[in-house]
Amino acid sequence: MAAAEWTVDSYETKTGEKPALTFLKALKGRDLADALALLKELREHGNSLRRPHSGSLDDGLFELRGKQVRIFYIFLPERMALLLDGEIKKRNDIPTATLKRMRKLQKEALRRNQERHHQER
């Protein structure tokens, strides 16, 4: 019997923006096909997904890795993968500004998730 699939959702900013969805909607051709295949892998394998499809950026931040597509995400309780944002890779390393922005989104998403669970008690 196959394991239950993971839920994949998109982080939403206070202003209602969903950076990962905006990124995905702008993709075309091979990049779009790549992104959709990566999201399917994430849904099926969750936190057991490894290279070459996924890489850890430490401290609970991960990236889905396509040929050029990078999608940054975190895990939340109850088998949830939360997409933060994405970019088209222009070089091998992740630009410092991108990593800084992802850490900020990660921190905000985790804070909000904790608040939501605290309110539900």
CATH of the domain at 72: 3.30.2310.20
Is a pLDDT exceeding 80 seen at residue 117?
A: no
Decide if 46 is inside a domain.
Answer: yes
Confidence class of residue 2 from pLDDT cuts 50, 70 and 90?
low
Confidence class of residue 93 from pLDDT cuts 50, 70 and 90?
confident
The tens digit of pLDDT for each residue in 53-67 reads 999 999 999 999 999
84: domain range?
7-120
Decide if 1 is inside a domain.
Answer: no
Instruction: Evaluate whether 80 touches 9 at the Cβ level (below 8 Å).
Output: yes
Please report, rounded to a whole number, the percentage of residues in the chain having pLDDT higher than 90: 84
Decide if 2 is inside a domain.
Answer: no
Q: What total of structural domains would you count in the chain?
A: 1
Q: What is the pTM of this model?
A: 0.93
**What pLDDT, on a 0 to 100 scale, did the predictor assign at position 92?**
82
Is a pLDDT exceeding 90 seen at residue 115?
A: no
Which of these, 57, 65, 80, 77, lies nearest to 10 by C-alpha position? 80
The mean of the pLDDT values for the chain is 93
What is the C-alpha separation between 19 and 2, in angstroms, rounded? Answer: 31
**What pLDDT, on a 0 to 100 scale, did the predictor assign at position 85?**
98
